[in-house]
Amino acid sequence: MTNKEDIQIIIDEARLGKESAFKKLLNTYWSDIYRFQFAKTNNENEAEDITIKTFAKAFDKIDLYNDNYNFKTWLVSISKNIFIDSLRGKKKEMVSLNKKNSEAHLITDDAPSPEDQIINEQNLAELLSYIKKLNKKQQEIINLRYFQELSYKEIAETLNESMSSVKVNLLRAKKLLSEIISHKK
């Protein structure tokens, strides 16, 4: 494990935008955040998605990190908030009881989440045109993850890259794609 002074140097490098620093932070804390989320979700895919969102948000907001606190604690706090937000966004289910014949009916709230709403507003052709504005490597990683639905491990094997490199590149591609879509609206 890296000591506190080393972590601070890496955080300072990340604040300057050094990709190698982001990879080091991801490698250092990935398993801690993933285990934290897996314990909450008991679902590998959900834990992985929330973990990647945690690092995306942390890397976007790294300038807001207060050096007086432990970086891992800050990440766990971000991850906990993302988990809570994901619970709020999940479909709500209620049970309706028919008192006459004691039947129970499951009623599901099929309202799309805010993220689903944005995605649904985009038609596939339009989305593909936005993706084409990314560089070739970013296009490929978006395609492998979201159109071919490969896991991070499968993407790493396909691209012959490390898992941390895949995760960082996917984070950046998603962020850039989001910015492209937002500027077109």
- Express each pLDDT in 13-55 by its tens digit: 989 888 888 889 988 999 999 999 999 989 888 888 888 889 8
- Is the separation of the CB atoms in 113 and 99 below 8 Å? no
How is residue 64 annotated by DSSP? G
Contact of 40 with 83, CB cutoff 8 Å: yes
pTM comes to 0.58
- Locus of tokens 């028919």: 98
Domain 4-89's class? mainly alpha
Terminal Cα-to-Cα distance of the chain (whole angstroms):
45
Asked if CATH classification 1.10.10.10 holds for the domain at 111-184, the reply, yes or no, is yes
Answer yes or no: is pLDDT of 125 > 80.
no
Task: Give the residue carrying structure tokens 């989305």.
Answer: 127
Domains of the chain, by residue range, sit at 4-89, 111-184
- How many angstroms separate the CA atoms of 141 and 148, rounded? 10
Q: Of 16-20, 58-62, 141-145, 176-180, where does mean pLDDT reach its minimum? A: 176-180
